[in-house]
Chain A
Amino acid sequence: MTDALSRLLETRDWLMADGATGTNLFNMGLASGEAPELWNTDAPDKIRALYRGAVEAGSDIFLTNSFGGNASRLKLHDAQGRVAELNRVAAELGRDIADAAGRPVVVAGSVGPTGEIMQPMGPLSYASAVEIFHEQAEALKSGGADVLWVETISAPDEFKAAAEACKLAEMPWCGTMSFDTAGRTMMGVTSADLVELVEKLPAKPIAFGANCGVGASDLLRTVLGFAAAGTERPIIAKGNAGIPKYVDGHIHYDGTPELMADYAVLARDCGATIIGGCCGTTPEHLRAMRAALETRPRGPRPSLDEIASRLGGFSSASDGTGDSETPARTRRRRRG
């Protein structure tokens, strides 16, 4: 039995994912601090418009409006009792749009981080994390999601817990981490570490990769890191459209559609198979990306210098992989 994403991957050598959810909903009037997931039931037309925007711009895959739809996050809005409903509806709305597209479009059930720190550093146990993710996974499944899409994770244990939840829900899945701290995740995971982590999982993802993070350049450096680690698994690149700026009372990401088109083609040259955007990526950006992916030829794997000259510089000199590994601190003495 195969899933819709695996079937698409068999027929195509690149797929385009969608762009932003949160920042696009802002443009539709979402107030800062409010839970986007509540719009699944309160403003379903806007969520349909969000999904349709991605599909009409050429996305083969789009993510449901359920990033913060786990009990731990919904608790802030006193909606922790509505996990099943909000996620099911997020996927149902997606199903409607995908089925009406007239071509195969994958509904990917977005699963974001819990926002809690895992033990021993923080309070969240592995078992609780699995339970939180599992509840959301079952709801997205019941709403008709084709695959689950775990994203913006920074801690290895949280990634593992989400993987286990997908397995419990018997759902195919994809997983990406956010590499936003000197080329690593906030918790210190490098691109090479993620490749290793993915291959050790009992239920391996269909595809894995990086989303969000800093800018397009950093994201491609991470993709090059995945490829250098020798993975055979499809790589996902979902980078932000530049960096956020505050213009005329709202957040604007400074990456132009032209820049994101360059980014998309370079991402494919770096070895990514599933290419999309994250924060700040609008349908306009997606259209430019789709056109570029369809019309421009593949090129050789770009060097870091080429990426920097096309898309801008990196946020840090090193990303913690290869020869650039940071030296360990010299110690006076070690404890037994």
Chain B
Amino acid sequence: MAEDDDDLILSDLPDEELVPQMHDDLYDGLKDEVVEGVEILLERGWTPYRVLTEALVAGMTIVGNDFRDGILFVPEVLLAANAMKAGMGILKPLLVETGAPKLGKMVIGTVKGDIHDIGKNLVSMMMEGAGFEVVDLGINTDVDEYLGALEKERPDILGMSALLTTTMPYMKVVIDTLTEKGLRDDYIVLVGGAPLNEEFGRAIGADAYCRDAAVAVETAKAFVARKHNQAAAG
């Protein structure tokens, strides 16, 4: 865009201007600028957790809301998520070192027979952006792979994704197997994908259907909070 010729020097901006600028840069998927912003805030003594929440997560929330509202579409969100991922690359090791709080853990995968991972990747990135730990099993995940990962990772949430009418019933196979083994209630099961809907999610025994990645994050947060409350009360 040529209408603005003066180069923006991020390091010249005070915190209260830099952070909104980072939100804009995330929105525009400007990876290098997001990384630079993260580095500047860290140099200025921000904790990694504060950079994550106030700069990256808050920025991705704007992206997520506009995605939900049909203002942004998948290409823009993928670019934004890639920029966030680059910023996360710097923060991740620091977050581990500093013992920053985690919201919860999720194991996620696209079901057997389905190659489509766009939605699943968006959910992964948005969940990470929101402060969840995410273990991504990739595409074409069969029931044994899901069960193995649940046993190994002990997550709060199991996420399953499908884009095809021919693969979405496989979610029921996984949930039924969990039920048979008496494991169903150990996990919050969230499902998503273009051909699904709320009623379908309920019918196959999932805890919730998530229309898009932004809704997945909101739903995950709500369920995890409820789970923690129940644990505290019980």
The answer to whether B115 and A76 touch across the interface, beta carbons within 8 angstroms, is yes
The answer to whether B24 and A251 touch across the interface, beta carbons within 8 angstroms, is no
Given the known inter-chain contacts A121-B78, A245-B200, A333-B24, please indicate yes or no for A251 contacting B165, CB distance below 8 A. yes
**Range, interface on chain B:** 35 or more
The answer to whether A336 and B75 touch across the interface, beta carbons within 8 angstroms, is no
**Residue on A nearest B204 in the bound complex, by CB:** A246
Which of A26, A76, A116, A154 is within 8 Å of B140, CB to CB? A76
CB distance from A281 to the nearest CB of B (A): 11
Which of B116, B142, B168 is within 8 Å of A251, CB to CB? B168
The answer to whether B172 and A186 touch across the interface, beta carbons within 8 angstroms, is no
Which of A76, A77, A320, A328 is within 8 Å of B139, CB to CB? A76
The answer to whether B75 and A187 touch across the interface, beta carbons within 8 angstroms, is yes
The answer to whether A117 and B71 touch across the interface, beta carbons within 8 angstroms, is no
| Size of the chain A interface, CB-CB below 8 angstroms | 54
The answer to whether A186 and B73 touch across the interface, beta carbons within 8 angstroms, is yes
CB distance from A147 to the nearest CB of B (A): 24
The answer to whether B166 and A246 touch across the interface, beta carbons within 8 angstroms, is no
The answer to whether A244 and B200 touch across the interface, beta carbons within 8 angstroms, is yes
What would be 30 A-B contacts, judged by CB atoms less than 8 Å apart?
Answer: A20-B165, A22-B165, A23-B166, A26-B166, A32-B170, A33-B170, A73-B115, A75-B115, A76-B114, A76-B139, A121-B75, A121-B79, A122-B78, A182-B70, A186-B74, A187-B73, A188-B73, A244-B196, A245-B203, A246-B200, A246-B204, A279-B165, A280-B165, A326-B70, A328-B71, A329-B66, A329-B71, A334-B1, A334-B3, A336-B4
Rank and list the top 10 A-B pairs by shortest CB-CB distance, nearest first: A188-B73, A33-B113, A182-B70, A246-B203, A33-B112, A115-B115, A32-B169, A22-B166, A121-B78, A32-B170
Q: B residues bordering A, Cβ < 8 Å?
A: 1-8, 20-21, 24-25, 27-28, 30, 33, 66, 69-76, 78-79, 82, 111-116, 118, 139-140, 142, 163-170, 172-173, 194-197, 199-200, 203-204
Beyond A115-B116, A121-B75, A335-B4, list 16 extra A-B contacts (CB 8 Å).
A32-B169, A33-B112, A35-B113, A121-B74, A121-B79, A154-B74, A181-B194, A187-B74, A188-B74, A246-B204, A251-B165, A279-B195, A326-B70, A328-B71, A332-B20, A335-B25
